[in-house]
Chain A
Amino acid sequence: MSPVVARPHPLVEQFAAVQAQRSEPAWLKARRQAALERFQSLGFPTKRDEAWKYTSVAPIAKADLTPADPGHAVDAQALDALRAPGLETHEIVLVDGVFRPEVTRDTGPLPDGVLVQSLAGALESGVVEKHLESHPDRDDLAFAALNAAYFADGVFVFVPKNVTVEKPVHIVHLGSRPERPQLQAPRILIVAETSARVQVLESYGASGEGGLTDAVTEVFVGANARVDHVKLQLEDEQAWHVAAILASIDRDGTFDSHSISIGGAIARNDIRVRFEQPGGSTTLNGLFVVHGEQLADHHTVVDHRVPHCTSRELYKGVLDEKGHGVFDGKVWVRPQAQKTDSVQTNKNLVLSKDAVIDTKPQLEIYADDVRCAHGATIGQIDEDALYYLRARGIGESAARSLLTRGFATDVLDGIEPEPLRAAIQAWLVDKLPGAKELEAE
């Protein structure tokens, strides 16, 4: 018998050729090479990996993925569907992970010194060189490594010291519904200097069957700065979506994240926040809504490495039909992290007997003067509330929908500014199970 030699994954085989064609700074080429090696040694995760126990990416690993060709036609309707009516933003549109100026709306000038631009066009920037692919908590993330090896473009958001960007920055990620399996790997870098403030909305849509969105967003929150990040994942129900949001918070900084996952056959988010200096705070809120045979998986890590930091986390799942939800939330409180104040909650509403939720809130505390709490609940529609609504004339399916909406919406409470929260809510209510019945009432 001849020995079986596993053929390397096509994305590994293709890398050298892709790398050779790139005219990029040497530092980036070196980081890409290192990332590819990391991916090679990690491989695609399997269910034997603790962090992937409930989420199989076998269909992705088996697919003959190649990097997306640039220049796919833009589905104007799909693009418009990702824009919130009436919400003023600074817009930048990526198609298959590549900036497309011709479909990006002119949303007026940015404040002095603020940058919202194509990442590929910003590689000469010292700030980009300093921060890109530098977040320390990415070493075990195979998909993040693949993104680093392959991203063609993305967005660089930079807010200088003491500057507040009033309107949210809206990064629109549009897929192209490819004819063959493809990898689109948008890369986002957000850097807010001391006392800067910015809100960034990322919406993902129109990626279809065979499309893998492999996104990485790195966020560097300066001292006393604040970054609000909202992610809205509305891809097709057949799409694959794997993303990492990696934030690092300097002294007294704030990072708030809202992750809303509605689309995708497999949707995985790794959200990791690291307190580098005392006084920081973070809110991690999320909502996943699954039906059919969708799987939505959020893994979050909050790393309290220093004293006097606060974290608040609320994740909610709405699971219908044969939908599968996974929540794994880890809060580290390291020995030095005295006066940590951390609360983590995961609540799930299960609408069908075939739906599955795996939830695992975890708290690891190595400091003794802390205030920490965590918990998870799994429940059904409250029958008394259903009866109450029906007794007022509201039909059963509309009543269920109203209760589902009521369950879900408090996740959005912290989103600022208010017009952004209202826009997200309007978007969301339309996507919840039974929304159509409610409208029909």
Chain B
Amino acid sequence: MLTIKNLHATAGGAEILKGLDLEVKPGEVHAIMGPNGSGKSTLAHVLAGKSGYEVTDGTVTFEGKNLLDLEVEDRARAGLFLGFQYPVEIPGVANNYFLRSALNALRKSRGEEELDAMDFLQLIKQKAALVEMDPKFLTRPVNVGFSGGEKKRNEILQMAVLEPKLAVLDETDSGLDIDALRVVSKGIESLRGPERSIILITHYQRLLDYVVPDVVHVFADGRIVKSGGKELALELEKHGYAAFEPSGAKA
């Protein structure tokens, strides 16, 4: 599904990713855990193609394609989804219109028929129920006036509608109360399947009680420094990240 080899990337002249390797197979759920400021979000944005990040070395292969050659939208069309740590507010654009435009852009790129407003309404109602979202949020402008939890729920809703092959969820659990975490986790779990892979980028072990990962990675100073099973997360929770941080690095 996804193969990252020796990935180096800079932002604003500073090297953030320093030789990252990662292999994610279809159906797997990987958790990438690490201290704040270690570059976890940079990894997410480099994968999604945000401008301002420069890949200086290494390769990223997604479904056999060189992911780094693709435009942002073409990565999404190829089946990559990034759940944003800080979802963006878009005044004046209704949530349901935005989602239909996105879904139809994906369908069109796959040569499938676009959904009309009626068919889409059916679909979106069903998906909104999955993340226990009040339908009134569908007609509001994207993320405008949403609470932190509602924004994250909206990310999971988008994922549920767009049905990506690989979802990279960047701190989707941060700042959620236990009810919101439960709902978001349920949404993630429901999308788990043999053909879909998920990368959970998180700072906290708590999410992993609800979405049990196949592999846990410890991310520090721009690369993966240790990998293991789900028990590694518990170990991190107990002992913290200190053991993995280079001496003198910022917390």
Residues of A within 8 A of B87 (CB): 388
Q: Is the CB of A441 within 8 A of B108?
A: yes
List which B196-229 residues lie within 8 A (CB) of chain A.
none
Q: Knowing A388-B84, A402-B98, say if A394 contacts B92 (CB, 8 Å).
A: no
Residues of B within 8 A of A113 (CB): none
Which of A384, A393, A438 has a CB less than 8 Å from the CB of B73? A393
Residues of B within 8 A of A435 (CB): none
Determine how close the nearest CB of chain A comes to the CB of B79; give it in whole angstroms. 10
Determine how close the nearest CB of chain A comes to the CB of B244; give it in whole angstroms. 29
Residues of B within 8 A of A402 (CB): 93, 98, 101
Decide if B50 is an interface residue (CB 8 Å cutoff).
yes
Q: Knowing A396-B71, A406-B91, A441-B108, say if A391 contacts B76 (CB, 8 Å).
A: yes
Interface centre among B92, B106, B108 (most CB of A within 10 A): B92
Residues of A within 8 A of B93 (CB): 402-403, 405-406
Using CB atoms, name the residue of chain A closest to B92.
A406
Which of A393, A403, A407 has a CB less than 8 Å from the CB of B76? A393
Q: A387 CA to B49 CA in the complex, in Å?
A: 9
Q: Is the CB of B90 within 8 A of A389?
A: yes
List which B42-83 residues lie within 8 A (CB) of chain A.
48-51, 71-73, 75-77, 82
Determine how close the nearest CB of chain B comes to the CB of A232; give it in whole angstroms. 19
Q: Is the CB of A387 within 8 A of B90?
A: no
Decide if B38 is an interface residue (CB 8 Å cutoff).
no
Q: A403 CA to B90 CA in the complex, in Å?
A: 7
Decide if B141 is an interface residue (CB 8 Å cutoff).
yes
Interface of A is mostly: helix
Q: A428 CA to B73 CA in the complex, in Å?
A: 26
Residues of B within 8 A of A387 (CB): 48, 50-51, 72, 88
Residues of B within 8 A of A391 (CB): 48-50, 72-73, 75-76, 82, 84
Q: Is the CB of B90 within 8 A of A393?
A: no
Q: A406 CA to B90 CA in the complex, in Å?
A: 7
Interface centre among A408, A410, A438, A441 (most CB of B within 10 A): A441
Using CB atoms, name the residue of chain A closest to B164.
A393
Decide if B2 is an interface residue (CB 8 Å cutoff).
no
Q: A116 CA to B51 CA in the complex, in Å?
A: 57
Interface centre among A392, A399, A407 (most CB of B within 10 A): A392
List which A384-441 residues lie within 8 A (CB) of chain B.
384-385, 387-396, 398-399, 402-403, 405-410, 438, 441
Q: Is the CB of B90 within 8 A of A388?
A: yes
Decide if B158 is an interface residue (CB 8 Å cutoff).
yes
Decide if B162 is an interface residue (CB 8 Å cutoff).
yes
Residues of B within 8 A of A390 (CB): 71-73, 76
Determine how close the nearest CB of chain B comes to the CB of A434; give it in whole angstroms. 13
Q: A385 CA to B88 CA in the complex, in Å?
A: 6
Determine how close the nearest CB of chain A comes to the CB of B194; give it in whole angstroms. 23
Using CB atoms, name the residue of chain B closest to A407.
B92
Q: A398 CA to B73 CA in the complex, in Å?
A: 11
Q: Is the CB of A398 within 8 A of B88?
A: no
Q: A395 CA to B108 CA in the complex, in Å?
A: 11
Decide if B109 is an interface residue (CB 8 Å cutoff).
yes
Q: A382 CA to B91 CA in the complex, in Å?
A: 11
Residues of A within 8 A of B84 (CB): 388, 391
Residues of A within 8 A of B158 (CB): 392
List which B71-124 residues lie within 8 A (CB) of chain A.
71-73, 75-77, 82, 84, 87-93, 98, 101-102, 104-106, 108-109
Determine how close the nearest CB of chain A comes to the CB of B68; give it in whole angstroms. 15
Using CB atoms, name the residue of chain A closest to B102.
A392
Which of A383, A398, A407 has a CB less than 8 Å from the CB of B91? A407
Q: Is the CB of A393 within 8 A of B88?
A: no
Using CB atoms, name the residue of chain B closest to A383.
B51
Q: Is the CB of A441 within 8 A of B92?
A: no
Residues of B within 8 A of A409 (CB): 92
Q: A391 CA to B106 CA in the complex, in Å?
A: 11
List which A40-66 residues lie within 8 A (CB) of chain B.
none
List which A325-344 residues lie within 8 A (CB) of chain B.
none
Q: A409 CA to B90 CA in the complex, in Å?
A: 12
Residues of B within 8 A of A408 (CB): 92
Interface centre among A385, A390, A396, A407 (most CB of B within 10 A): A390
Q: A390 CA to B45 CA in the complex, in Å?
A: 12
Q: Is the CB of B91 within 8 A of A395?
A: no
Q: A390 CA to B102 CA in the complex, in Å?
A: 9
Q: A390 CA to B51 CA in the complex, in Å?
A: 12
Q: Is the CB of B105 within 8 A of A394?
A: yes
Determine how close the nearest CB of chain B comes to the CB of A441; give it in whole angstroms. 5
Q: Is the CB of B98 within 8 A of A398?
A: no
Residues 220-256 of chain A: 1 if any B CB is under 8 Å from the residue's CB, otherwise 0?
0000000000000000000000000000000000000
Determine how close the nearest CB of chain A comes to the CB of B109; give it in whole angstroms. 7
Q: A407 CA to B90 CA in the complex, in Å?
A: 9
Q: A391 CA to B90 CA in the complex, in Å?
A: 14
List which A356-395 residues lie within 8 A (CB) of chain B.
382-385, 387-395
Using CB atoms, name the residue of chain B closest to A408.
B92
Residues of B within 8 A of A405 (CB): 92-93
Determine how close the nearest CB of chain A comes to the CB of B111; give it in whole angstroms. 14
Residues of A within 8 A of B105 (CB): 392-395, 398, 441
Determine how close the nearest CB of chain B comes to the CB of A32; give it in whole angstroms. 45
B: residues with CB less than 8 A from A are 48-51, 71-73, 75-77, 82, 84, 87-93, 98, 101-102, 104-106, 108-109, 141, 158, 162
- Known contacts A385-B90, A394-B101, then 12 further A-B pairs from the complex at CB < 8 Å, ordered by chain A residue: A385-B89, A390-B72, A391-B50, A391-B84, A392-B102, A392-B162, A393-B106, A402-B98, A405-B93, A409-B92, A441-B101, A441-B104
Q: List 22 A-B contacts (CB under 8 A).
A: A383-B51, A387-B48, A387-B72, A388-B84, A389-B90, A389-B102, A390-B73, A391-B72, A391-B76, A392-B76, A392-B102, A392-B105, A393-B162, A394-B105, A398-B101, A402-B98, A402-B101, A406-B141, A407-B91, A407-B92, A409-B92, A438-B101
Which 7 A-B pairs have CB atoms at the shortest separation, nearest pair first? A406-B92, A393-B76, A392-B102, A406-B93, A390-B72, A388-B88, A393-B105
